[in-house]
Amino acid sequence: MTKTPPPRDIPTCKGPDPDTRTPRYRAPPGACDAHCHIFGPDAVFPYAPDRAYTPPDAPFEGLRRLHGILGIERAVIVHASCHGSDMRVTLDGIARSGGAYRGVAVVDPGVSDGELARLHEGGIRGVRFNFVRHLGGMPDMAFFERVLEQIEPLGWHVVLHLDAQDVTELAPRIARIRVPFVIDHMGRVKARGGLEQPAFRSLLELMRNDRAWVKICGAERVSSEGAPFHDALPFARALVSVAPDRVLWGTDWPHPNIAGDMPNDGDLLDLLAEAVTHEPTRRKILVDNPARLYWSEEQTA
């Protein structure tokens, strides 16, 4: 397969820190990285011609190596926008994991019920919509509503990748969603705005909805101070205090489009342990909650 030539007007993003530190915190058995990506390799799984960024290759083997260092046994591959709606790279990673990975899809308008059923068989359990401006902004809302109707019988959820200002603007609409919905990266709020900023207050209010989930990852995106990203901790703690049974954590490896300090993934796991000091709650976030959302068939078998 021919490697995709990088168009000159598409920015190239930085790669992850290659020297993952072994975390001090030892994750419990069955721990899950509930937000990570696989990029390429481009020569096998080409990047989409209309992508917003070109990443360095970060293939399945790199993700497995990372999880070996972190002591992570399960993962959720969130299909990356740089691959468009070509799901082959994510389905390949799930298949090669031997049941240890699940996935979240990106789909095109007009996706058929048959295609969604095929994705379900391949280990997909959710669909993601980007609202973030640098990745294309607001999706067509008729398309959005139609896909939510299609995924409801499958027992899937929707992942919402929002800019902070979108949380307040879209909160009434989000609250009406009938399937479970997952807010990425703590709503991408900015720590400098404090816990009382309108976007975060709206996010906390959304989390009182029984269908609402949130990922307390992306500390490097929330932080206004940079590494070690400690100013993101109060936001993670506040979200956990509201809905500990509906919180997920992930590395976000390989950290696309990071403008500031590139995090070390071992440090990020230790940052979670610092944010959540109660070990039974850590287990909920790392093991029980993702198992309920992504491996529910195992719990009902």
Q: What residues in the chain have per-residue pLDDT under 50?
A: 1, 7-8, 301
Dist CA 100 CA 294 (whole Å): 10
Q: Does residue 171 come out as left (phi exceeding 0), alpha (psi in the -120 to 50 range) or beta? A: alpha
**Which of 44, 154, 159 shows the shortest CA–CA distance to 96?**
44
> Model pTM?
0.94
Using an 8 Å Cβ cutoff, are 92 and 45 in contact?
Answer: yes
Diameter of the chain by CA atoms? 51
Rg (CA), the chain: 18
If we measure between CA atoms, which residue out of 47, 37, 44, 53 comes closest to residue 217? 37
User: From CA 35, how far away is CA 19, in angstroms rounded?
Assistant: 20
Q: Which of 42, 184, 252, 267 is catalytic?
A: 252
What are 133-187's pLDDT values in tens digits?
766 667 899 999 999 999 999 999 999 999 999 999 999 999 999 999 999 999 9
Residue 138's pLDDT is what?
78
* Residue 265 among the catalytic residues: no
